[in-house]
Chains A and B, each alone.
Chain A
Amino acid sequence: MRFLIRRLGFFVLTLWAAMTLNFFIPRMMPGSPEEALRERFSKSGSVVSPEQLRTVLAEFGFDPDKNIILQYTEYLKAMVTGHWGVSIGSSLGAPVTTLIGDALPWTVGLVGIATVLAFVLGTLIGTIAGWRRGGLMDGVVPPVFIITSALPYFWVALVFISLFAIGSNPILPNDFNYEQGLTPGFNPPFIGSVLKHGILPAGTILITAIGGWILTMRNNMVTTLAEDYVRMARAKGIPNRRIMFGYAGRNAFLPNLSGFAMSLGFVISGTILVEYVFNYPGLGYMFYNATVSTDYPLLQALFLLVTLAVLICVLLCDFAVFLLDPRARTKG
């Protein structure tokens, strides 16, 4: 039990430290919301005086002259109570919660599913490859995927687009999350369109992410198979399948689990480049955009989400290890 309490305490402390950094780091970036807005505004034609822009931003609650400590305490309070404010960047005036609410499902859906899939498939392939080391599968599959995982994913994305999505009647769409003009909801055309639009970006993530899982799982597997308890299990005549998954697999899997927890946490931050290339309106792109337009409220909220997601996943992983690994229990 002490193990769990210690973990929880650590969670709270890390969260506070991260939130403090989230507040100060964006403010140390060069540039200011005023300048970013000025740059954007010149787009629609007229040069607007800096004083006028300050007046506009003040309406949306941006007050740079306020005492920084006061701003910080207000920020902490707002973050905890969920009053995340409105964007002061490119979506000036849009509530941060709405912006994130619109983008979150797409990123979690796309990147989340692709990450889980990559992990499950990678672990499975790694387990089998490690079990039959030296076999045909071990000789071909891991090297191939290790090469693909070394490819930069925006490049893979561009190759996919030029293979599948070029021309006036392409096989798969090259951008967006669903066809314009469809009504979002539980209707077959919409769901079909979402799936169709997800294939290329998800494929890109899968191909580039799976290699790492295969390699680590295979190597863990090889090490674990040399353990005495595996030999013992064999001697007892336990079926191969059970040894593979229940004895060797289960133990080889543990080191991978915390890596997986981390990568799940980072799902929230999206995969900026994939979203960029496929014009997929998720959180990764929003992150980039908020940085460019020095959008403090949006940045803070996004950072908070990423921090929370990583910390919660790590915490859950700790709990899972606690359940899976008897040694953690006795030590705790």
Chain B
Amino acid sequence: MSGIKRIAVTAVAVGVLAAGCGGGDEPIGGASSNPSSSTSSGGSTGQFKKGGTVTIANVGGQTWPCQFNPFNPAVNQQALGFVYEPLTFVNVLKSGATTPMLATAFSWSPTKDSIVFTIRSGVKWSDGQPFSADDVVYTFNLMKQQPALDLYSLWTGAGLTSVTAAGDKVTLKFKAPAEPYFFNFANQVGIVPKHIWSTGDAAAKPATWPNTKPVGTGAFTVGSCTSNNISYVANGSYWQPGKPYLEKVQYPAYLDNNPANLDLASGKAQWGGQYIPNIDNFYKSKSPENNYWFPPTANVAIIPNLDPSHKVTSNLAVRQAIAYALDREQISKIGESGYQPAANQTGVVTPTFDKYFDKDALTAAGYDKPNPDKAKQLLESAGYSSSNPLKLSVITVTGYTDWDASLAVVKQQLAKVGIELSIQDLQQQSYNQKLFTGDYDLAYSSLSGGPTPYYELRQLLYSKNSAPIGTQASSNYSRYIKPEVDKLFDQYASADPDTQVKLIKQISGYMIKDVPIIPTTESVDWYQYNTKDLEGWPTQEDPYAQPAPYNIPDVGQVLTNLYSKSAQK
């Protein structure tokens, strides 16, 4: 049962379907101070009457601890977006297009090593105190004093050196060009009120402070919380006039997929972030108002171990043979019921990031369609034959039924070219341990991405994200180490948008040449929505935010756009 949770776990965070939607490659400093301007469904402010409730069905796998510390990774999904807001919202579904939130505008220095935010005036904390640039500075400096709060390692990894305020301007200075970190510091950090976090327990132990009654600038505040359910109520003094339209948000603590899926199908819950097997039959057919949309986000891939101690998988010919042998369309169709589209060897998720996708290079290398003959040749050249077959094993997680199905297809396809694949289902903990420390030949895995392919590829291929066998790698599990590729990633930070596209294509070139990972399908955001009473949902036509309730801070965008049809009468 719990296997299905994984999909929600891995699917996360990422960019999607926005192909062709507006040229938002370079984050645009907001000329407009009205955040709803980037959404078409939200429309102008004060357009809808207030009222209505949305109930979220998203398996958190825990009863609520009723803590809302936005720096605590276990609870920030219930705090960010609801109560706490970022400076600027970055929409990964629209190539990183920005929506001004607590900052009305921002501008980079020419070398992109410092950025100035103009802080919005007239915003109030939910306890009535005015919000100011001081709060922003305090939030970032708190993360410096307390490294445990600095989840994205802004001060240690991204090279942040100072955050200062002058009037309504806040300046962040970095050691080096820092544009790729904009996504983290502008979008993922929730600003907290200085007047609360600088006194008492909050100041003494900010990392562990429970923050049971959160005070934020967001559209909702916590009305009541039990271990069963969080009930958010509209923030009456919210700074976006007329918003939020909804009066209440109910967030029950679902422990398992079955009850959550049942409640979504019956309409008891209207907003889901669930993997529902056989969704057309189980969910869609139950009501014409039940809808779903799965925007693709990152890759699901076979990760080979490239460390020289693993003789077989560190052999390029073997990896190429696997990549040629795979029929990814078939894996998508049979293994993932078509919910997850087929991936490609460049590692660029399509159609989300189409403009970074180098189709010609893919075709030139012959990876655009399966080529079992080429795979056989490669295996022969590597010394394998029917009398000396290549035997490999791949690790996966017990209970991830869709992965099992996909791997069964992979196994068949590889058998045709003479590779005997054995599938090792491991319990989550053992799987993680093996994957992180490099104790495997092949691993089936998926990662999260970001507003451009840079984020996912850097995690997978940047040498600093690797580690020697036996110690935990942070995300480069295949142990791919190539100084040329590192250099391309380093150049990306200060490059202009056109060059960034070129750099990604060059990196894709290495994906094709070295086959450091072998993508099979594209992981998606799981998202169900019911339109019986509620409208304003993100859709494929209007992807104004990542749609799943577990996407933070995107959840805040969705919540300020939803309105109740019955309240309009």
Contact = CB atoms under 8 A, between A and B. Distances in A.
A16 B203 CA distance: 40
Given A45-B448, A47-B475, A94 B67 contact: yes
A31 B429 contact: yes
A57 to B, nearest CB: 9
B67 A47 contact: no
B421 to A, nearest CB: 24
Interface in B255-272: 255-256, 258-260, 262-263, 266-267
Contacts of B550: 43-44
Contact of A44 (B77, B229, B450): B77
B148 interface: yes
A60 interface: yes
A253 B207 CA distance: 56
Contacts of A167: 266
B231 A180 contact: yes
B75 A43 contact: no
Residue from the set B60, B75, B151 with the largest chain A CB neighbour count within 10 Å = B151
B151 A47 contact: no
B153 A52 contact: yes
Which of A30, A98, A180, A285 counts the most B-chain CB atoms under 10 A from its CB?
Answer: A180
A31 B208 contact: no
A47 B447 contact: yes
A178 B228 contact: yes
Contacts of B252: 176, 180
Nearest to B267: A168
B contacts with A: majority SS: loop
A43 B12 contact: yes
A39 interface: yes
Contacts of B208: 59-60, 86, 93
A30 B429 contact: yes
B255 A46 contact: no
Contact of B74 (A42, A92, A170, A184): A92
Given A36-B429, A176-B228, A42 B148 contact: no
Interface string A29-49: 111100111111111111111
A144 to B, nearest CB: 28
Interface string A257-284: 0000000000000000001111101000
Most buried by B among A165, A170, A276: A276
A82 interface: no
A46 B552 CA distance: 10
A94 B62 CA distance: 12
A181 B231 contact: yes
B148 A59 contact: yes
Interface string B173-216: 00000000000100010000000000000000101101000000
Contact of A45 (B12, B65, B226): B12
Contacts of A42: 9-10, 12-13, 447-448
Of B2, B13, B259, which is in contact with the most chain A CB atoms at under 10 Å from its CB?
A: B259
B77 A48 contact: no
Interface in B433-485: 433, 436, 447-448, 450, 459, 472, 474-475
A306 to B, nearest CB: 19
A55 interface: yes
Nearest to B551: A45
A102 B433 contact: no
B349 to A, nearest CB: 15
A59 B207 contact: yes
A47 B151 CA distance: 9
Contact of A48 (B12, B152, B207, B226): B152
Contacts of A286: 63
A29 B499 CA distance: 48
B179 to A, nearest CB: 16
B8 interface: yes
A276 B63 CA distance: 12
Contacts of A30: 427, 429-430, 433
Contacts of B229: 180-181
A103 interface: yes
B448 A281 contact: no
A50 interface: yes
Interface in A69-92: 86-87, 89-92
Interface in B66-92: 66-67, 69, 72-77, 80
A245 to B, nearest CB: 43
A134 to B, nearest CB: 44
Contact of B432 (A35, A93, A170, A175): A35
Interface string B39-83: 000000000000000010000111101110100111111001000
Contact of A43 (B8, B147, B432): B8
Top 6 nearest A-B pairs by Cβ distance? A31-B429, A45-B13, A94-B65, A92-B74, A175-B259, A279-B259
Interface of A: 29-32, 35-50, 52-53, 55-56, 58-60, 86-87, 89-94, 98-99, 102-103, 161, 165-168, 170, 174-178, 180-181, 184, 275-279, 281, 285-286, 289, 292, 294
Given A35-B429, A45-B188, A45-B448, 4 more contacts: A43-B77, A46-B450, A103-B63, A165-B262
